[in-house]
């Protein structure tokens, strides 16, 4: 049996092309590892029943010398909020119990076209509302570095799966840090692309102006390779953008010589874990040694980002989740009349965090409060974006911590929503400003991973990949795996 625990995407593609092992052998190895390892972690909700047959078809086509896609035979896991035809997609919620998708998300179509094997779906915070993957109807996911700790969220299942070697790559979604924060807490690489770079068609919407699909992998190079497969204009998503060029890892120059890197003073404040700050600044020092010019910058509206996000996101979520009425699909409860049926179905089907955000959003959008809250939040969002626009006139990338702390204990913040929300403080600005951001491992504190966040100009993922690949060529943090 193949030892898949440390394999990268690049290594798998090369090995499949050289026929060191078959796609079927690879799929069987990952399926066995999921069964052996994931019972405690609870990161994978369902293994695809057709994965082995799909792998056999790829092997047959390869043996016949047919032209294959760049991900031919590579297993990939998907967050439970992405539509896969025939699969049970629930977005981690009871209200979609028994729901079966009737079409594929665009990213799924592109993965299939590239020959990837859809291995299964991963656990997540209910409707992506959470920072710890504890709000899932299917129970919490645990951090593979310490199973008493959270993996981050909301894409915790995908991050854990890659960290634990249950798949070489996985997809998640990021509304306010839901890819980068769990990537940081689990010691893997996670990218939130520029808004519009990846189609959202077939992604269960939480906050439509903030959501973006992105990849997890062990290395920055693997993330870039996967991005070149899923990105690009989609006629089914009006917010997707026609790209002038795509990031091709083979053509990259992993160098930082001459680059200007900004350190925003507003991101290094009281309350941050001292070890986190030290490790991030150590990483900055490595970039400086490579010829990067580091300077302190100011982003004055950062202090309003958390409040702005937690008005805009619940407003959009309350609107998007209105479609789950208990009548058309999923969980259903019967009342004495239509209004009571709605109330019972939604009251029983949604979890506490989802109901909390629906109520917050509905309140902020209600008559008499719309101007005071939602409209004002939109204005502040514009100011936050202006901070980024101004910063990128002087620097090529912005470096910050991904999370203010390492992973906390399961249940530690679960009953305190405000404290939980603060864990997103360094990631939400990228979503509000629609810029790309990536998290990669930069060290360990108390034997737990710490993440470095890089943010770039809109549609300039290329620069983030260059910096990230340069840093990973110098360091070994991304090669560590949990026991």
- The DSSP secondary-structure symbol of 204 reads P
Around 309, how many Cα atoms within 13 Å sit in the side-chain half-sphere?
30
The Cα–Cα gap between 210 and 195 comes to 7
Q: In what order do the strands lie in the sheet with 117-122?
A: 44-47, 117-122, 75-79, 169-173, 213-217, 189-192, 437-445, 448-456, 397-401, 260-264, 293-297
154 is an active site residue: yes
Catalytic annotation, pick one of 48, 131, 154, 318: 154
Q: How many residues does the chain have?
A: 483
Q: Which helix (H) or strand (E) holds 228?
A: helix 220-230
Kindly state the tokens that stand for 152.
Answer: 């981050």
Rounded to the nearest 10°, the torsion over CA 20, 21, 26, 27 is: 150
SS3 of residue 210 by DSSP: coil
Q: Where are the alpha helices (DSSP H) in 238-351?
A: 274-289, 305-320, 338-349
Q: Is 224 helix (H, G, I), strand (E, B) or coil?
A: helix
Residue 85, beta-bridge partner list: none
Rg of the chain in Å (alpha carbons): 21
Q: Of the listed 178, 184, 405, 423, which one is catalytic? A: 178
Q: Is residue 459 within 8 Å of 245, Cβ to Cβ?
A: no
391 half-sphere exposure, CB direction, 13 A CA radius = 32
The answer to whether residues 75 and 165 touch, using CB atoms and an 8 Å cutoff, is: no
* 3-state secondary structure (DSSP) of residue 16: helix
Is the separation of the CB atoms in 216 and 468 below 8 Å?
no
The closest alpha carbon to 200, from 106, 324, 113, 88, belongs to 106
Is 382 tagged catalytic? no
Indicate if the alpha-carbon torsion angle 278, 280, 281, 286 is positive or negative.
Answer: positive
Q: Name the active-site residue from 23, 48, 79, 192.
A: 79
**5 counts as catalytic:** no
Answer for the pair 214, 427: CB distance below 8 angstroms, yes or no.
no
Q: How far apart are CA 275 and CA 317, in angstroms?
A: 35
Active site residues: 79, 154, 178
């Amino acid at each position: 049996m193949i030892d898949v625990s440390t394999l990268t995407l690049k290594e798998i593609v090369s090995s499949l092309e050289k026929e060191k092992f078959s796609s079927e052998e690879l799929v069987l190895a990952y399926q066995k590892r999921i069964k052996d390892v994931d019972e405690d972690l609870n990161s994978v909700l369902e293994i695809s029943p057709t994965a082995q047959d799909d792998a056999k078809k790829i092997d047959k086509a390869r043996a016949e010398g047919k032209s294959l896609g760049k991900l031919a035979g590579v297993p990939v896991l998907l967050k439970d909020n992405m539509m896969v035809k025939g699969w049970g997609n629930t977005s981690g919620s009871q209200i979609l119990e028994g729901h079966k998708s009737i079409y594929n998300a665009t990213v799924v179509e592109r993965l299939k076209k590239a020959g990837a094997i859809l291995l299964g779906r991963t656990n997540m915070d209910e409707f992506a509302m959470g920072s710890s993957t504890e709000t899932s109807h299917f129970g919490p996911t645990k951090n593979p570095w310490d199973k008493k700790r959270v993996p981050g969220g909301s894409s915790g299942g995908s991050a854990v799966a890659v960290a634990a070697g249950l798949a070489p790559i996985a997809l998640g979604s990021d509304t306010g840090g839901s890819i980068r924060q769990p990537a940081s807490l689990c010691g893997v690489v996670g990218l939130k692309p520029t808004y519009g770079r990846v189609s959202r068609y077939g992604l269960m919407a939480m906050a439509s102006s903030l959501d973006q699909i992105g990849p997890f992998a062990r290395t920055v190079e693997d993330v870039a390779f996967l991005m070149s497969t899923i990105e690009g204009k989609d006629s089914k998503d009006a917010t997707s953008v026609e790209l002038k060029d795509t990031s091709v890892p083979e053509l990259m120059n992993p160098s930082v010589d001459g680059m200007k890197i900004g350190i925003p003073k507003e991101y290094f404040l009281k309350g941050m874990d001292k070890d986190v700050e030290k490790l991030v600044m150590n990483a900055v020092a490595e970039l400086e040694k490579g010829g990067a010019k580091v300077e302190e910058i100011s982003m004055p509206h950062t202090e309003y980002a958390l409040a702005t996000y937690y008005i805009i996101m619940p407003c959009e979520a309350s609107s998007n989740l209105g479609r789950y009425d208990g009548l058309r699909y999923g969980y259903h409860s019967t009342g004495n009349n239509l209004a009571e049926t709605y109330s019972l179905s939604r009251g029983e089907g949604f979890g506490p965090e989802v109901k909390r955000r629906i109520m917050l959003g509905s309140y902020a959008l209600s008559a008499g409060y719309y101007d005071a809250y939602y409209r004002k939040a939109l204005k502040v969002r514009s100011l936050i974006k202006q901070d980024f626009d101004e910063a990128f006139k002087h620097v090529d990338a912005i470096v910050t911590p991904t999370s203010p702390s390492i992973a906390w204990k399961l249940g530690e913040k679960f009953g305190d929503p405000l404290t939980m929300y603060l864990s997103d403080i360094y990631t939400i600005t990228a979503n509000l400003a629609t810029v790309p951001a990536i998290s990669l491992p930069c060290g360990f504190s108390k034997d737990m991973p710490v993440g470095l966040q890089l943010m770039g100009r809109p549609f300039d993922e290329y620069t983030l990949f260059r910096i990230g690949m340069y840093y990973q060529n110098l360091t070994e943090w991304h090669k560590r795996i949990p026991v």
